[in-house]
Structure 1
Amino acid sequence: MSDAALARSIADEAGALLRDIRATATCSDRELGQRGDREANLLIIDRLRAARPDDFILSEESLDDRARCAARRVWIIDPLDGTREYSERLNDWAVHIGLAIDGVPASGAVALPACGRTFATDDTAPLPALPPGRPRMVVSRTRAPVIATLVAEAIGANLVPMGSAGAKAMAVVAGDAEIYLHDGGQYEWDNCAPAAVAMAAGFHASRIDGSPLVYNCIDPLLPDLLICRPEWAAPVLAAIARLRPAQGPEQPQQS
C-alpha cells in the first residue's frame, strides 16, 4: 500500500471511531474531546507502527521522541484537529495524517469525518477555475488573526469563519474559499497533512513570509501558514510584507 493510501485508510478509520464516540458518549464536552483525542491517537499510532515499523511518529497527543530528528521519514499526525468543534457537536473538525520526508510534506490525508469527505495526496481533483468576484479567506471562528483581517481589507477579501485548520485548508482545496492565512501559533501537526494535500492539488503552501514549510524540526512550533490558490499567492504575500512589520507578531491562538 502506498503512503497516501495508508494515510487515507487510517484517517478514515480514525474518523469513523470519532463519529462513533461522539454519537454514543454521555460525558461532558471536555471529557468528550479528551476521549476523542486519546482513542484516535492510539488507533492511528497502532496502524502506523504495524504498517511502517521503521518510520517515526510525531503526534500532538504523544510524548515527542526526539530521535525522530535524525530520521528521513516522519509521520506527523493530529488525531483530532478542532477538539473544540468536535466537543461542541459542530462539523468542521478533522483528522490529519501527514508524512514528511527529509522535512518536506510529501504525502498524507485530511479527513473531515462529520462531512463524509477525505482528501489525500494521491486523489486530487484538477484545480477548479478561479471564481469571479471577491476572494474568500477562511479564518478562525473564535479569533481571526489581525494580519488576516488587514490583508483581507487590502486585497478586498471576504472573511469566512471556520473551525479547525484542516477544515479551513480543505475549504480552499475544495473550492469553497481561495485563501487560508494564519498567524499566531500552530504546530507541525496542525498543517503537515493539509499542506501536503494542498500542494499535491496544485495550491500554494508556505510560511507567511513566502519561505518553505519545513517539518521534523527539533521544536515542532510552526506558527504561521498560507495556503491559497496560486493566483493569490503573490498578492497576499506582498500585502503581508507591507502590513506585518507594523503589526508585529501575534500571540499564539486557535488554528
Structure 2
Amino acid sequence: MDTAARAADADIARAVAEAAARRLIEVRDANPTLDGRALKDLGDAEAQLVIAATLTELAPADAVLSEEAADSAARLDASRVWIIDPLDGTREFSEGRDDWAVHAALVVDGMLALGAVALGGPERVLVSSEVDEHAPAQDGPVRIAVSRTRPPQLVEHVAAALGAELVPMGSAGVKICSVVTGQADAYIHGGGQYEWDSAAPIAIARAAGLHTSRLDGSELLYNQPNPYLPDLVVCRPELKDRIMGAIADALAAQPE
C-alpha cells in the first residue's frame, strides 16, 4: 500500500471511530433513565448504523466483519476487509464511565494494515499511522492491565511470578492502548475474545513497537474463517521474555 493510499485509509478509520463514538455519547446523554442492558443494546445498534453508513459512503467496495452485523463468507475472498467493534466495553459505557472504545481496523490481502480506536468519545482517537513509539518505561513494578470485573486466573499467576501490579480497567481496546500510552506495561488475556475485540488496537500496538502475540507466542491473525481469537499478549518489548516465560509456566501448571 502506497503512502497516499495508507493515509486515505487512516482517514477513513478515524472517521468511522469518531462518528460512532460521537453517536454513542449522544445516545447515552439522551437516555439517562435506561437501565444497563437497554442502554448497551441501544448503543451497539446506533453505533453500528453510523459505522455502516460511514463505510458505505467512504469505502463502498470493501468487505466488513463487525460484531453487530451478520457475517458473510465473501469477506474471506475480499482484498480489503474492515474489522469493526461498534462498542467495546458495553458495561463501562452503560455505567457512564469513559474506559470504553470504538474499533475500526483494515485488513489488506490477509494482513492487518491499520487501525483506529476512539477511547471514551470522539475527542481521543489513536490511529496506527500516527503512532511512532510506545511511552517510555516507568520505575516500579510491572503493571498489567486486567478486567475490572473478571481478571483471568492466568493473569493473577503471572502477576505473582513477576511481582507485578494489576491495573483494572474497561474494554480490551482501552487495555491494549494503555500499554501504548504508558498507563500499563502489559495486557494478557486468556478468557475468550473475537477478532473485533483486538484488531484495531493491535494494529496500534504493533505500530508503537510493542510485542503482540497469542499466549503461545504465535502470531495474531485476522479475517479468519472463524473470527474467534480467544487469547493475546501485548507488552513492552523488553518485558517479552519474562512475561512469555511466566505465561508458559502458568499454563504448564494448569490441570489437564
TM-score (norm 2): 0.93
> Do residues 199 (structure 1) and 206 (structure 2) align?
yes
Can you list the C-alpha shifts for 1:17-60, whole angstroms capped at 9, x where unaligned?
11111111132221111111001011111111221122110000
Residue 232 of structure 1 aligns with which residue? 239
Deviation at 1:100, TM superposition (A): 1.5
- The runs of 5 or more residues in structure 2 that have no matched partner are 1-6
Residue 253 of structure 1 aligns with which residue? none
Residue 20 of structure 2 aligns with which residue? 14
Distance of aligned partners of 1:215 and 1:158 in 2 relative to their CA distance in 1, 3 Å threshold: same
The equivalent position to 2:97 in structure 1, one of 74, 90, 93, is 90
Residue 11 of structure 2 aligns with which residue? 5
Deviation at 1:246, TM superposition (A): 2.3
Cα distance between partner residues in 2 of 1:113 and 1:178: 21
- The runs of 5 or more residues in structure 1 that have no matched partner are 250-255
Letter in 2 for 1:99: L
Residue 107 of structure 2 aligns with which residue? 100
Cα distance between partner residues in 2 of 1:179 and 1:67: 35
- Pairing of 1:171-250 with structure 2 (within 5 A): 171-247=178-254
* Percent of residue pairs bearing the same amino acid type: 49
Residue 32 of structure 1 aligns with which residue? 39
TM-score (norm 1): 0.93
Instruction: State the SS of the aligned residue for 2:129.
Output: coil
Can you list the C-alpha shifts for 1:121-164, whole angstroms capped at 9, x where unaligned?
11114333221221100001111111111111111210011110
The equivalent position to 1:72 in structure 2, one of 59, 76, 79, is 79
Instruction: State the SS of the aligned residue for 2:83.
Output: strand
Cα distance between partner residues in 2 of 1:130 and 1:247: 31
Letter in 2 for 1:136: R
